[in-house]
Amino acid sequence: MSSPPRAGIRLTRRRLLSGAASLGATSLLPAPGPARERIESLGALAADKGLLFGASFAVHELDAPHGSQYAQLYEQEVRLLTSELEFKLSTLRPDARTIDFAPADRLLAFAHAHGLPVRGHTLIWNDALPDWIKAIDPRGAGHLLDTHIDAVMTRYKGGVRYWDVVNEPIAPWDRQPGNLRAGPFHSALGEAYISRSFRAAHAADPAARLVLNEAFTETADEQGETFRRSLLALVRRLAADNTPIDAIGLQCHLAHRYRYDFARFTAFIDELASLGYEIHLTELDVDDRFETGSIAERDRRTADLYARFLAAVLPVRAIKVLSLWQLADHTSWLATTPLKGRGTPKPPPRPLVYDASFQKKLAWHAIADAFRAMPPR
């Protein structure tokens, strides 16, 4: 379905047409450059169909030599910012006495200056914790959970539209009932830490949209099956308990080395949606670290994986939000996270839609085409 023309496009075109007689025929073509880029942004293409498109954003990138290009890219492409690090317990709570709001304040200031809504990632996660929380006395874990959620959400009330209240509740390898992830909140409170987190979040900011975010649900292998089955069962229990959850977030870190059955994954999304939740695809990227071949071949395979994935899932109208995990290859966690004992990956991974020189890649076009082809929500 083609999207309705936007006012901005009509205006530009009319202006071009009115000047055509004096300027000659070539002036009928829209000029390349920033104005045209804005019209063709992924954020605008998605918005034309009622989908909110965003990406994770890390404030420390603003201090890098490419800081202004980074800022410009987000201004141009996205309609939503997800905090990559700024709201994590590891950033906010370096020790038991401190709450370091400075990075989150900076992210909020950037978002506000550019009129972008924010997804706060994440309030409670039994992973990526500072040592003092890992070692917390179980008798104090519930109090920390309640006061942390209240302090953070109260400070940013009205400024953060979506919260990943609980991240990655499932981890089968921890061998806990329900395949829940082990960790300080879980060991102190059991499964109840999840509904308690959502109730605290709802009390702190009743207007915020609350998300339960999970990884590893996409693959066709046994791990994917286990994650899908366990998450669905957990969501059903939370629904039966009237836990205030608005959306289920599925991270969608795809990788060439995994097997997929996107029809099966789409059926799973449909099942979650039929329980009454919005679906957010929250951290989409494509890991190509173990691919061989030329850059052109790798980029083709990556664009193709994006295309096949999106063609399968985007017909599901319950998907209201889609976020990439960063926009440019060199700022991806895949580029900056060392491989076990081998330093950062070489050659540099190319998981995203812009390259390290901030040039559009094939993957950008694959996503743009998928947005043009999807039904409106």
The HSE-up count of residue 85 (CA atoms within 13 Å, CB side) is: 15
Q: Is 246 in the site for ligand XIL (CB under 6 A)?
A: no
Question: To the nearest whole angstrom, how small is the minimum distance from the Cβ of residue 332 to ligand XIL?
Answer: 8
333 binds ligand XIL (CB under 6 A): yes
- Applying CB under 6 A, among 41, 83, 167, 230 the residue interacting with ligand XIL is 167
- Write out the binding residues for ligand XIL, residues 280-299 only, by CB under 6 A: 283
Q: Is 352 in the site for ligand XIL (CB under 6 A)?
A: no
Among 48, 61, 77, 84, binds ligand XIL (CB under 6 A): 84
CB of 351 to ligand XIL, least distance (A): 11
Decide: is 251 part of the binding site for ligand XIL (CB under 6 A). Answer: yes
How many residues touch ligand XIL (CB under 6 A)?
Answer: 8
| Closest approach of ligand XIL to the CB of residue 167, in Å | 5
Q: Is 144 exposed, middle or buried, given 0-12, 13-18 or 19+ CB atoms closer than 10 A?
A: buried
- Please tell me whether residue 215 binds ligand XIL under the rule CB under 6 A: yes
Helices (H), the chain: 7-18, 20-23, 34-39, 42-47, 67-77, 89-92, 102-113, 131-134, 138-155, 184-189, 192-204, 222-240, 262-274, 295-313, 333-336, 362-373
| d(C-alpha 251, C-alpha 168), whole Å | 9
In angstroms, what is the minimal distance from the CB of 251 to ligand XIL? Answer: 6
Residues 170-199: x/- map of binding to ligand XIL (CB under 6 A)?
Answer: ------------------------------
Q: Is 214 helix (H, G, I), strand (E, B) or coil?
A: strand
Q: Long-range CB contacts (< 8 A, 24+ apart) of 132-140?
A: 132/93, 132/95, 132/96, 133/89, 133/93, 133/184, 134/183, 134/184, 135/184, 136/184, 136/188, 138/184, 138/187, 138/188, 139/188
For the chain, the residue count is: 377
83/195 with CB nearer ligand XIL: 83
Instruction: Specify the residue, 106 or 377, whose C-beta has the smaller distance to ligand XIL.
Output: 106
Looking at beta carbons only, is 15 or 60 nearer to ligand XIL? 60
Beta carbons within 10 angstroms of residue 2's beta carbon: 7
**Rounded least distance, CB 249 to ligand XIL, Å:** 9
CB of 170 to ligand XIL, least distance (A): 12
Q: Which residue is nearest to ligand XIL (CB)?
A: 333
CA 94, CA 149: separation in Å to the nearest integer?
16
Chain contacts with ligand XIL (rule: CB under 6 A): 84-85, 167, 215, 251, 283, 333, 337
